[in-house]
Amino acid sequence: MYPNIQAYDRGVMFNPDGRLFQVEYAREAVRKGGAALGMVLKNGVLFVAHKNIDEPLAVLKSLEKVFYIDSHIGATYSGIQADALHLIDIARQTAQTHRLIYDEVKSVAAITKELSEYILQATFYGGVRPYGISLIIGGIDTEPRLFMVDPGAALLGYKAVAVGNGSKIANDTLEKEYKDNMSLEDGIELGVKILKKISETKISSEYVDIGYVEDGTPFRILNQDEVEKYF
C-alpha cells in the first residue's frame, strides 16, 4: 500500500510513477529564473546572462550572474541566487584546493563532476531540499568545454545551451543560429540578441552580465561600458 500522496512532497522519494516531486519543483524554480546561456567559441567559451530584477531601487551591480571560478573556468546560472552562490563557492574551493595540492589547474570536466556529485546529495535524504538552480560551467583545459548541471544532478556537455525563463525559445534560436567556431564578437551578439528576444520588457546593458575565457587569456567579465557596445 502506498503512503499518502502528500508524503512525496515532504521528502525526496520516488512516487509510484518514478517521479521526484522536490526535484521537479526545483526545476520549476530554474524555469522562473533569469535566462542564462553558454556557448563554445572558436577559441574559448562565452557566458551571457540576464538579471531579471524588477526592483526600482535595487543596485544592479550587487547581483552577479556570471562568475569567475578559476583562471580557465567561468560559470553562470538560473534559479535561486543563494543556492548559486553556495555552489560557486564550492567550485572555487575545489579549483583552488587542486592547485595547492598538485600545482596544476583542475579540468573543467572534473570540477563539474564534483559539483554534480555534491548536488546529488541533496536528492537523497529527507530534511534537505534539492538545489534550485541549473548551473552552466565552461572553460578551457585541453580544449574549450561547456557543461550544464540541473537540480537532479544530471550532467551533460554542450556546444551551446540556455536555461531559465524563455529557455525553450533561446535553445531553439541557438539550434538555428549557433555555428561551430564562432568568434567572440559573433557569440556576444547572438547572446544579446537572444536575451532581447525572450525578455518580456526592453532590457538595457546594465541588466546583462557577459564573461568569457579564450585560449591564452584568463577568464574575465566585461565591464558596463564594454557590454553597452552591444546594445
Instruction: Read off the amino acid at residue 118.
Output: Y
Sign, CA dihedral 5-10-16-19, equals positive
Q: Which residues pair with 101 in a beta bridge?
A: none
Distance of CA 229 to CAs 50, 187, 188, 206, Å? 16, 14, 10, 12
Q: How far apart (Å, rounded) are the C-alpha atoms in residues 107 and 25?
A: 31
Cα–Cα nearest to 121, from 112, 130, 109: 130
Beta carbons of 146 and 75 less than 8 angstroms apart: no
Mean pLDDT of the chain: 92
Residue 10, pLDDT score: 63
Amino acid, res. 123: T
In the prediction, which pLDDT does 222 show?
A: 98
Q: Is the pTM of this model over 0.75?
A: yes
Give residue 1's pLDDT: 42
Record the cell numbers describing residue 71, joined without a space.
Answer: 583562471
Return the pLDDT at 124: 84
Tell me the three cell numbers of residue 115: 559539483
For the chain, which ranges sit under pLDDT 50? 1-2
For 195, left (φ over 0), alpha (ψ -120 to 50), or beta?
Answer: alpha
Long-range contacts formed by 87-95: CB under 8 A, 24+ apart:
87/115, 87/118, 87/119, 87/131, 87/133, 87/135, 90/115, 90/118, 91/115, 91/137, 95/69, 95/70
Fold classification of 15-51+65-225 (topology level): Glutamine Phosphoribosylpyrophosphate, subunit 1, domain 1 (3.60.20)
pLDDT of residue 202: 85
